[in-house]
Structure 1
């Protein structure tokens, strides 16, 4: 069993008077993690699921009396797949406000429904955690960093979903199942998704533009939709933890790109499954994009698990000066360039260095990346 980093962080928040929300993509191991966390309380807990029709009915309009009757003397309540339950935010708020001795732990695989019906009612009443596919840090701790670096090509091609990592020789099959069904379940059942073919076409277009700046107008032309629809669908893809956007850093330089964005995938394997390309790394023309996506997604896992409260960007000017990745926190900026080849050098533009309080600059390559993902 691969130990998940969030386990201890969540355990330390139990019975502190707030609900605990565990969010993240489907099939990353949220339910498995919760079962581990609550196992010491198995005789003092109740497990409810948004996948169960009876539980959905009971929780969607439950008043305080019904909740007290349902929970009884149990001290811990788990609500799995909470995003499938109508009005779940108000229900959880009732539990937190009126059942002070009860710990609520809810999981969700999409944030768009929870954002509407849960975040506002639970303002100030929750600890929220985001769970990802397996991270470099988790895999290194399970074996060792040296062994995990030996799996780098596998991670770049097949990604890090738990079922994929533990199914050697079956990676393509597992990823095909994930990308065809589980991953899009929330989106395709969401009432506003009326054109699943358009969604599929958009995902392929985003996958092929990996590492490049994204233009909503150009994407609209490619997929045959208007700009607003494209932006709306990308927003939903982000809220179901399939992709995430990286905005352009801009403060005071006139020729900086201010409204540009790049779109990355939470997992390399899902991206490759979408375009149906599992070609070995040495024969790929998109090695640089895969390397960039892997590093940014892995760094995001690390920073999120450590409680990073800063911001992430890329930087570029109209004169094509650029920096791959920036992190800004407490007024300081760290700048990073990504190069596969350890012998490759990179220059950080003086325009940028002279304009901002740059705390550190570093070139990340396939030899020094472990330290960057573990420091």
Structure 2
């Protein structure tokens, strides 16, 4: 092959449909390739490009797909077309999904379950499909980079742990469209406001890793007594607890779960809370980070 006969050449292959690219590459290139997953822009990347937001609600609603910014397309115009062309044509081809209405209904039901431990049986029942079909369709959504799982951390601080992953979307603009949200202002009173902000934060933290060619090191922790840490960042033997709060006022109460986790785990890695306010502050029980500064939590 050209790779073997010209070892000094470098080839860059890009595409929005990695599953279709993989099917067309017949040779194994194990040990000779590097794969970099480039998701929709992160908040920091948008800021570098001159796109800043006064409110996180505006960034969350608009989403992060590049075409929205380089073509200045309104979310209300972009996302219906995105669903029509990308999801209907490309995603359905992966599994020969014949019933688009059922698949679209399933996708919207997934949107309503962000930030919750995934119950495939319940999701399948609500979508009027089998559990086997639900699992297959979830695999399609993962492979097409529409959704991702945040998996629980299993270090045995408590034996009564929730073991199901949580479901999130890579892009919050698409998520808002699927939930029928038509403006950023609707987010102030939406019943999933907290879950949407949590999705917004976790997707950005994941992009911080993947866009640097690093695997995800994000987990969550939840026990059967509903004690929870929204995100545990793992680095070697260290675990950094991070809570996500959509409120815009600095509150010491945000650190309640982190204090409980410290007491249970015996670990004392500094805790962080990422919230919807504008100021980053040192608090008695940890660091309070504005949503604008969320990337700071990844450096340790």
Query: Are residue 365 (structure 1) and residue 275 (structure 2) matched?
Result: yes
Looking at structure 1, the residues matched to 229 and 92 of structure 2 have their Cα atoms a distance apart, in angstroms, of: 36
Query: Are residue 226 (structure 1) and residue 130 (structure 2) matched?
Result: yes
What is the aligned partner in structure 2 of residue 241 from structure 1?
Answer: 145
- State which of 260, 278, 286 in structure 2 corresponds to 1:350: 260
Q: Retained in 1: the 8 A contact 2:210–2:216?
A: no
Looking at structure 2, the residues matched to 303 and 356 of structure 1 have their Cα atoms a distance apart, in angstroms, of: 27
Query: Are residue 267 (structure 1) and residue 171 (structure 2) matched?
Result: yes
Query: Are residue 177 (structure 1) and residue 81 (structure 2) matched?
Result: yes
Query: Are residue 142 (structure 1) and residue 49 (structure 2) matched?
Result: yes
Query: Are residue 195 (structure 1) and residue 105 (structure 2) matched?
Result: no
1:248–1:182 distance in 2 versus 1, CA, 3 Å: same
Task: List gaps (5 residues or longer) in structure 1.
Answer: 1-93
1:346–1:123 distance in 2 versus 1, CA, 3 Å: same
1:149–1:359 distance in 2 versus 1, CA, 3 Å: farther
Distance apart, 1:115 and its partner CA: 5.3
What is the aligned partner in structure 2 of residue 337 from structure 1?
Answer: 243
- State which of 251, 255, 268 in structure 1 corresponds to 2:160: 255
Looking at structure 2, the residues matched to 264 and 351 of structure 1 have their Cα atoms a distance apart, in angstroms, of: 23
Looking at structure 2, the residues matched to 283 and 167 of structure 1 have their Cα atoms a distance apart, in angstroms, of: 30
Q: What TM-score do you get using the length of structure 1 for normalisation?
A: 0.68
Looking at structure 1, the residues matched to 162 and 10 of structure 2 have their Cα atoms a distance apart, in angstroms, of: 46
What is the SS of the residue equivalent to 2:35? strand
What is the aligned partner in structure 2 of residue 29 from structure 1?
Answer: none
What is the SS of the residue equivalent to 2:271? strand
Looking at structure 1, the residues matched to 264 and 77 of structure 2 have their Cα atoms a distance apart, in angstroms, of: 50
Looking at structure 2, the residues matched to 153 and 290 of structure 1 have their Cα atoms a distance apart, in angstroms, of: 9
What is the aligned partner in structure 2 of residue 297 from structure 1?
Answer: 203
What is the aligned partner in structure 2 of residue 23 from structure 1?
Answer: none
Across the aligned residues of Structure 1 and Structure 2, the Cα RMSD in angstroms comes to 2.4
Looking at structure 2, the residues matched to 194 and 357 of structure 1 have their Cα atoms a distance apart, in angstroms, of: 51
What is the SS of the residue equivalent to 1:103? coil
- State which of 82, 102, 111 in structure 1 corresponds to 2:9: 102
What is the aligned partner in structure 1 of residue 218 from structure 2?
Answer: 312
Looking at structure 2, the residues matched to 355 and 338 of structure 1 have their Cα atoms a distance apart, in angstroms, of: 20
Task: List gaps (5 residues or longer) in structure 2.
Answer: 279-289
Looking at structure 2, the residues matched to 312 and 295 of structure 1 have their Cα atoms a distance apart, in angstroms, of: 12
Q: For each residue in 1:111-167, what CA deviation from the matched residue of structure 2 results, as whole angstroms up to 9, or x when unmatched?
A: 334556659812111121111212211122223xxx724152221112111222345
Q: Retained in 1: the 8 A contact 2:37–2:213?
A: no
Q: For each residue in 1:72-124, what CA deviation from the matched residue of structure 2 results, as whole angstroms up to 9, or x when unmatched?
A: xxxxxxxxxxxxxxxxxxxxxx3322332432211132333455665981211
User: Looking at CA atoms only, which structure, 1 or 2, has the larger radius of gyration?
Assistant: 1
Q: For each residue in 1:270-297, what CA deviation from the matched residue of structure 2 results, as whole angstroms up to 9, or x when unmatched?
A: 1111232224222322211111111011
What is the SS of the residue equivalent to 2:57? helix
